[in-house]
Structure 1
Amino acid sequence: MQNANVALLSSAPFNTPIGKSVNDYLFCPQNLSDYQIGALQSLTLVNKAMVNARQPFSGVSPHRLAQQVNQINLATPAASFENVLSEVESIYLNNAVYFHHPDYVAHLNCPVAYPAVLAEQILSAVNTSVDTWDQSGGATLIEQKLINWTCEQLGFDSQADGIFTSGGTQSNLMGMLMAREQAVARYCPEHCVKHQGLPAIASKFRIFTSQLSHFSIQKAAALLGLGYESVIAVATDAQFKMDPTALSQAIDTAKLHGLIPICINATAGTTDYGSIDNLDQLAQIARQHAMWFHVDAAYGGGLLLSEQYRHRLSGIEHADSVTLDYHKSFMQPVSSSAFLCRNRQHFSHITLHSDYLNPLCEKDQGYPNLVDKSLQTTRRFDALKLWMTLRMMGPALLGEGIDNILALARQCYDLLYTHPDFEVLNDPELSAIVFRFAPAGLTNTTPDELNPAIRDAFLQSGEAMIARTQVAGAHYLKFTLLNPATTITDLQRVVQRISELGWALMRENQ
């Protein structure tokens, strides 16, 4: 049926004339017929690309594709929209990485729910900016409703609030910003960072995070004027979780040296291992030392909808702030993320009123201007994607998909663990598995030589997409599973190819 639909769409005529003025290209009632024809032709192209994606990537080299791109003269428009689409197909669609393909098991990229893709068409056409009420209307209330719903899933009360963001990096920045502001309010109450910049005491502020946490914590510290040295990496245990004992010792040591611990950043789903820190214990330590408690649940936040594994996020309700990426485990297109805060009063650290945008009088009149809570001003209505997904699928189906992914990760772990050619580092708590090709009897080569070569071979062929990482200087491969349609049969095929490539490379080195 799908192929038949593609054939039907492909037969549609395309006769839109080339516009003579800028007005011929505006999205407005006068040009709707041309838009509809163009949309149909574009949909045909997308359908063709999806159906013909026999593998997740073409394997094209950057050099080869750059030559093709560089030949295009942007000063001269194409002769027709059909030519434009042909160019897009050649450069982009034929060389895109397809996350829906079952052999894509590399990074934290999920296939997307088609209701969210339909939402993209709507929100892009209207071009709403959800910064002020007079630019968004109902879009503001839809986003706020989703924020309130997410806060409820976290276990926050009615004092909580949040905002959609561009991704986990921005959300983590907001969490660290609030931690810094709370510290300034406590240790230097007469000082206002907004007006005066950082006080001298800020040089003593320290943020504590797992040695496996996301690099955006260090980036946030630098952007906030605290510097990389303000972030103290805490050792992890055998399950790759932040060690609470090591954390307590690190905090005590910092205090002995006259430093000021201000924040604990817990990770609910590390990038490499999917490990979830003990949130209950870390929350208790944060309360003991009067520190801000931020939880980076960009990856693991999908467990909020899981019937079987929701308990793994126990303690997240104690967080002062939370990062959550819908575009990792809620089947949403990039970007769709959120920053949530247990007490909405802390958003005052971000708010700045401007007479031409969000004057204070509008707040007094009850107008909801979301820019009051956001680091961004102009901001896409990304919330519509999650709204339409939830309204069509419901959260239970999304949760079922998450449960299926975690069950698949368990099967994959068993497959690799029992395979004589592989060493597996982690028992997956979410859906990331770190392993390497390391059969017994290696003589003329080492795993550190073989595994990067295996990954490069896949990148060059495009037949499957896998990730790589380093652990204690050693090279490993990684699967990240976020596709509920992937089966253990698909993974068996990829594992078999890894094994075949590994043995072939060993023979070459003999």
Structure 2
Amino acid sequence: AASALNPSLDSWDQAPAAAALEALVTRTLAHTIGLSDAVVTTGGTESNQLALLLAREASGGSVRLVCGANAHHSLPRAAWLLGLPEPVVVPAPNGTLDPAALHDALTHLPRPLLVAATAGTTDAGLIDPLPEIAGLCAAHGARLHVDAAYGGGLAFSDRHREKLAGLERAHSVTLDLHKLGWQPAAAGLLAVSRPGELGVLHHHADYLNAADDTEAGYPDLLGRSLRTTRRPDVLKIAVTLKTLGRTGLGALVDQVCAQARDFAALVREHPGFELYDRPDISTVLFRPTGATDDDVAGVRRMLLLDGRAVLGRARLDGRLWLKATLLNPHTRPDELALLLKLVEGTTPR
């Protein structure tokens, strides 16, 4: 429908229905995580870039990023793109940001500062201690951004949303519904605590947002994105929400989280495998017992080359792990068992 109608969300006259739908859906999703408004983005990378841009403007033209060693690569890259100072990287032992190290950094660094925490790390799907981090930011006068591109979908689940406690205290939050929202890309959002913060994105082009049109009540869409021509990506999100609702999406979240726990149990009980840790969301890290890092890398490549299984990789605690991120609610227990057999059969003996 979006391709056939081909509306462009750079001015209201080109996409009146899409503009109204976007305003409704973005506010609703922001309210779901305790914030006030959101803008649609192409994904987590653009959302993180916008978060740093908003922080820079709110701080008077410069801000220093403080993030964990577990942070997504797009955050330090965004600091580079925006001409900000070199980020301060805080240790993340066991895969999550260390509050004590963060406290020490915030105590000694000059202001203004932006702390970036993570809810759902790329490597292991871990969640930083958000309440402690939010408290430290408040005490030290630092701005807080949470990259919840992966973990933000837990907010749909009554069973798992408590893992995001503290998210509502952030100034901005990255969401990406092509993960735990089951949307085709692009389906990113940046949510903010105060709608006025989005005002810095405003841009004037008379043929798109003439002052008299805006005064007459026509929505000004040039402040809703850094892009001009853009697809109505909100349509697919709206259709999913209308069809499944928060309860339906929450049930899917519960299913994949349960699958991850089941798969982790299979790994733990198998003498031929080592489990990294119990999964926080739906990512399971494991490796064959006694295998070298070269063995692990080779197993992954062989399964991929043969078309038998697609596994990710993650390096934690100085070792290489195979990564299974479960996002298909229809995955069966026998398929999880088969995956272990495939890995076992490919591992050098």
Normalised TM-score (structure 1)? 0.66
In the alignment, is residue 268 of structure 1 matched against residue 155 of structure 2?
no
Identify unmatched segments of 5+ residues in structure 1: 1-121, 185-192, 194-201, 440-445
In the alignment, is residue 172 of structure 1 matched against residue 48 of structure 2?
yes
In the alignment, is residue 148 of structure 1 matched against residue 27 of structure 2?
yes
Residues in 2 aligned to 1:225 and 1:250: alpha-carbon distance in whole angstroms: 21
**Structure 2 partner of 1:243:** 98
Residues in 1 aligned to 2:21 and 2:329: alpha-carbon distance in whole angstroms: 27
Aligned partner of residue 133 in structure 2, secondary structure = helix
In the alignment, is residue 130 of structure 1 matched against residue 9 of structure 2?
yes
Name the amino acid aligned to 1:346: E
User: Residue 327 of structure 2: which of 479, 482, 506 is its match?
Assistant: 482
CA-based RMSD: 1.4
**Structure 1 partner of 2:66:** 208
Residues in 1 aligned to 2:168 and 2:4: alpha-carbon distance in whole angstroms: 37
Name the amino acid aligned to 1:492: A
* 1:255-334 map, 5 Å: 259-334=110-185
Name the amino acid aligned to 1:164: V
Superposed CA deviations along residues 459-495 of structure 1, whole A, max 9, x for unmatched, are 1101111111223553221111111111222111011
**Structure 2 partner of 1:393:** 244
Aligned partner of residue 465 in structure 1, secondary structure = coil
Identity %: 37
8 Å CA contact 1:436, 1:447 repeated in 2: no
Q: Which ranges of 4 or more aligned residues in structure 1 deviate by more than 3 Å?
A: none
Q: Which structure has the greater CA radius of gyration?
A: 1
8 Å CA contact 1:272, 1:433 repeated in 2: no
* 1:335-354 map, 5 Å: 335-354=186-205
* 1:37-186 map, 5 Å: 122-156=1-35, 160-184=36-60
Aligned partner of residue 59 in structure 2, secondary structure = helix
Residues in 1 aligned to 2:33 and 2:314: alpha-carbon distance in whole angstroms: 31
Name the amino acid aligned to 1:232: V
Aligned partner of residue 260 in structure 1, secondary structure = coil
8 Å CA contact 1:208, 1:261 repeated in 2: no
Aligned partner of residue 231 in structure 2, secondary structure = coil
**Structure 2 partner of 1:448:** 293
Superposed CA deviations along residues 133-186 of structure 1, whole A, max 9, x for unmatched, are 011011101111101111220123xxx2221110000000011111111221xx
Residues in 2 aligned to 1:244 and 1:433: alpha-carbon distance in whole angstroms: 25
In the alignment, is residue 403 of structure 1 matched against residue 254 of structure 2?
yes
User: Residue 457 of structure 1: which of 286, 295, 302 is its match?
Assistant: 302
8 Å CA contact 2:145, 2:173 repeated in 1: yes
Normalised TM-score (structure 2)? 0.96
Aligned residues: 349
